[in-house]
Amino acid sequence: MAATIFDVAKRAGVSIGTVSRVINNRDRVHPETRERVLQAIRDLDYHANALARGLASQQTATLGLVIPQVNDPFFFQVVRGVEEAASAANYSLLIASQSRLPASERRYLHLFRRGHVDAMVLASIEVHAHEVQEIVEQGIPVVLVQLDIGRNIPTFLADNYGGGRAMAEHLVVEHQYRRVAYITGTDHTPDNRERLRALRDVLHENGLDLPGEYVVEGDYLRDSGYRAMQRLLELPTLPDAVFAANDQMAIDAMMAIREHGLSVPDDIAVVGFDDLPLASYVSPPLTTVHQPVYELGWHAGQMALEIIHTQGDRSALAAPNKLLLPTSPVIRRSCGC
């Protein structure tokens, strides 16, 4: 059996209270006593039981992370970011992927209800504002990633609008494309909407229009870009450039164009959003917008830790609660450069 604090106390000839103070660097302990305790800890290879500690102190040194069930390397980057922030602070990371169950059965809510975590990071999941509110009201800090529910909750977002603008300007101003089409992601997600808004704004500012038939619906997933592109290719006036809401669809769109006997970028330019590793390997290499995914995760984890450590200190909550991380266009070949 593993050694307990009791064993350490006995060996060092002190009470468990003293051992606890040594472990936690609390109050003052006589240097000699401290050394004796530390020696006993070494001798017994003692490691404090995390559960007992959590129960007694009401702190678990654990962060909860909820991600969608989708199989997307995107989220792995978020996971890595949060994990590294957590482990650098000696916190553990408890992961839950959002299940398809109805809200009443959502397991991830148990994470906090059961006192399992000190804070939660929710990444691009479907969640109701009142659910989040409930968590926060129970005293568990929540940080959101790529997900905005419009309450006063710390939120980390990639700058979708800014990235979308930069890309749109690249197409419209530098390349002088005149008929730009857009393949949407899932309609309700804010990232998709921001990217579309950016394109529309840039077009307007340049005296151009985004006709309804140039906005075709996709869902971010494989194939949907292909089908969307097919619809565009049936139009009487073909676009000269296509902005897809993510790389996956952009790549599928390129396929559709090629199968249609046209060339990318000579006949139709194609650009995406995300900068998947994949983007640089397709041919032509995809021009896209880089998203700081790892950084989103890292900052979110960091923020969660900060809030934990300033609990009750209301002034801390006055910090900006919506942070945009910069996105940057990655110019390759598919735009015509």
Other Cβ atoms closer than 10 A to 308 = 18
d(CA 260, CA 221): 21
Alpha helix (H) ranges present in 5-47? Answer: 5-12, 16-24, 31-44
Give which of 15, 3, 5, 12 is closest to 35, Cα–Cα. Answer: 12
Question: What residues contact residue 7 under an 8 Å CB cut-off, 6+ apart?
Answer: 44, 46
Among 18, 60, 184, 192, binds its own copies (CB under 8 A): 60
Residue with Cβ nearer DNA (23 or 255): 23
Write the binding mask 233 to 272 for its own copies: x where contact by CB under 8 A, - elsewhere: ------------------x---------------------
Q: Candidates 4, 92, 97, 328: give the one binding DNA (CB under 7 A).
A: 4
Measured distance CA(155)–CA(147) in Å, rounded? 7
Q: Does 38 bind DNA (CB under 7 A)?
A: no
Which listed option, DNA, its own copies, none, makes contact with residue 111 (CB within 5 to 8 Å by class)? its own copies
**From DNA, its own copies, none, interface partner of 17 (C-beta below 5 to 8 A by class):** DNA
Q: Which amino acid is at 220?
A: Y
* Smallest distance from its own copies to CB 302, Å: 16
**Amino acid sitting at position 323:** L
Please answer whether residues 262 and 47 qualify as being in contact, where contact means their C-beta atoms are separated by less than 8 angstroms.
Answer: no
28 scored as a contact of DNA (CB under 7 A): yes
- Which CB, 95 or 136, lies closer to its own copies? 95
Pick between residue 7 and residue 275 the one whose CB is nearest to DNA: 7
Residue 189 interacts with its own copies (CB under 8 A): yes or no? no
Strand, coil or helix: what is 156?
A: strand
* Residue 167 near residue 331, CB atoms below 8 Å: no
Q: Name the 3-class secondary structure at 239.
A: coil
Of the two residues 2 and 318, which places its CB atom closer to its own copies in the complex?
2
H helices present in 128-206, as ranges: 129-137, 160-169, 190-205
Phi, psi of 289 (to 5 degrees): -115, 125
Residue 10 tokens read as 């006995």
Closer residue to its own copies (CB): 73 or 211: 73
Taking Cα atoms as reference points, which of 6, 4, 5, 14 lies closest to residue 35? 14
How far apart, in whole angstroms, are the C-alpha atoms of residue 337 and residue 333? 5
Considering the complex, what minimum distance in angstroms separates the CB of residue 52 from its own copies?
Answer: 5
Per-residue exposure over 131-165, b if at least 16 CB sit within 10 Å of its own CB, e if not:
bbeebbeeebbbbbbbbebeeebbbbbbbbbbbbb
- Which single residue is written with the structure tokens 């980057």? 77
Q: Using the rule CB under 8 A, give the single segment among 91-99, 193-201, 206-214, 317-325 that binds its own copies.
A: 91-99
Q: Is 128 in the site for its own copies (CB under 8 A)?
A: no
Asked whether position 52 contacts DNA by CB under 7 A, the answer is yes
Among 10, 34, 80, 231, binds its own copies (CB under 8 A): 80
Question: Is residue 62 a contact residue for DNA (CB under 7 A)?
Answer: no
Binding segment for DNA (CB under 7 A), chosen from 24-32, 90-98, 285-293, 309-317, is 24-32
Per-residue binder mask for DNA (CB under 7 A), 108-127, x = binder: -------x------------
Q: Which of 29, 38, 97, 221 binds its own copies (CB under 8 A)?
A: 97
Q: Is 231 in the site for its own copies (CB under 8 A)?
A: no
Q: List residues binding its own copies (CB under 8 A).
A: 2, 47-52, 54-55, 60, 62, 71, 73, 75-77, 79-80, 83-84, 87, 90, 92-97, 99, 107, 110-111, 113-116, 138, 251, 277-278, 281-283, 294
Q: List residues binding DNA (CB under 7 A).
A: 1, 4-6, 13-21, 23-24, 26-30, 32-34, 46, 48-49, 52-53, 55-58, 115
